[in-house]
Amino acid sequence: MLDGDDAGAGSARFSYVVLAHTDAPAVLRLVRRVRALSPTSSVLVRHAQPPEFLTEADAAAAGASLLRSQITVSWGLWTLTNAAVEALEHARATTDADWHVLVSGQDHPVRDLAVWEREIAASGAGAAYRHFGPRHQDWQFRWHVVRLPGALTSLPRPVRYLLERAWRRLGSPVMAPLVKFYRLGNRSSSWGLAVRRPRTALAGPPLPVSTGSFWLAVSSEALDRLLARHHADEDLRGWFAPTLVADEHYLQSLLVDDPLTTVLDAVVTWQHVPRGDWNATELTPEQVEVAARSGAAFARKVTGPRAAEVVARADALTGRALASPA
C-alpha cells in the first residue's frame, strides 16, 4: 500500500505503540494528546506492571487499547526488543493501520502529528528512524548485565569511585580485547560484562549490523516482512540476543537488510543524551523548540518537576485542543 508509494499519503492511518513502565497519569496524558493531534489514529499501550497500574477502562477512557504483557523488561537486555516485537505484532494484528510508530510512555508530541504523518507517508520509505554510527563493541562481544554484590554497592561513594577508576586505568586496557566490564551509565547501578565472540573474526555477523534509535516508524508491509523473518530465523535471534542494547541494532538491521524496504534517516523521538552517558536527560522547556526543529514528532523524557511546563510549551507549539475521551 504505502511501502515505496506516496499515493493516498493523506489518508494513511497510523498506530502509535506506547511502551510504558511508570507514571500512568503521564501515559494517559500522552494518549489523549496523540488522539487530539491524530484523531484517526489508534493507540496501544503496552505495560508489564500489576493490573492496577493501568486498567483497560483507564486506557479506553483516554482513547487507547491495552496490552498487559508478561515480558519483564530490563534495560540493555534482549527483553526490551522482545517487548517491542510483541507490541508491534499485537498492533498489526488488531488494527488496520498503514504505519506503526514505537514511542515511550515518557514521550510527548512536539509537532502536529497529522502533518508529520503526511510527511512520513509521502516519503516513499517503508521505515524511519535516526541512524547512529557503528558501535562494534555492542555486537562483537556477548554482553550480560550484572549487579555488583551488596558488599560492593554499600561501599562509600569515594571508595567505589576509586575502584572504578582503577579498573578503567589498569584492568580495562589489559583485558579490553577479550573482556569488558563497566557501569552502564553514570546514574545506573548495573554493569555490563562482555566476552568477545570467538566466531566474530572468522564469520562476522549473520547480516550487516545497522544501529539507530529504538523509537521508530514502520509501514505495515515492512513490519510484516520483519516479523516473518524474526519468527523464522532462530539463529538470527540467538545471535542478536546477547548484544548490548539490542533494541538499537536488531529491528534496525532487519529493516535495512530488507531489499523491499527503504529506510528514512529521520528523528521520530528527540532526546538529549549527554556525551559519555547511556540515558536521556529530563526534557526542559527550552529544549521543546529544539526538538520540534529536528523534525521529530515526539520528545522525551517528559518527567520531573518541570514536566507540566514542558507539556504546556509543547501543546502551544502543536496547537489543537485535547480530544474528548473516547
119-175 per-position pLDDT tens digit: 999 999 999 999 998 777 778 888 777 766 554 555 576 776 676 667 666 655 555
Choose between 107 and 321: higher pLDDT. 107
Residue 273 forms part of a structural domain: yes
> What is the rounded CA–CA span in Å between residue 299 and residue 135?
24
From the number of C-beta atoms within 10 Å of its C-beta (0-12, 13-18, 19+), residue 218 rates as buried
144 and 129, same domain (yes or no): no
121 and 220, same domain (yes or no): yes
324 confidence band (pLDDT: 50, 70, 90): very low
Residue 112 forms part of a structural domain: yes
> What is the rounded CA–CA span in Å between residue 161 and residue 166?
9
94 confidence band (pLDDT: 50, 70, 90): very high
pLDDT at 278 over 70: no
- For residues 98 and 217, the answer to whether their CB atoms sit within 8 Å is no
> What is the rounded CA–CA span in Å between residue 179 and residue 198?
12
pLDDT at 46 over 70: yes
For residues 60, 62, 63, 67, the Cα torsion angle rounded to the nearest 10 degrees is -50
123 and 158, same domain (yes or no): no
pLDDT at 178 over 80: no
Residue 203 forms part of a structural domain: no
- For residues 269 and 104, the answer to whether their CB atoms sit within 8 Å is yes
Average pLDDT over residues 31-57: 95
Residue 271 forms part of a structural domain: yes
Average pLDDT over residues 3-17: 69
CATH number at residue 20: 3.90.550
pLDDT of residue 10: 61
pLDDT at 110 over 80: yes
Residue 324 forms part of a structural domain: no
DSSP 36: H
pLDDT of residue 317: 92
Domain with 56 in it = 9-134+208-318
Domain count within the chain: 2
pLDDT of residue 6: 42
273 and 300, same domain (yes or no): yes
Residue 4 forms part of a structural domain: no
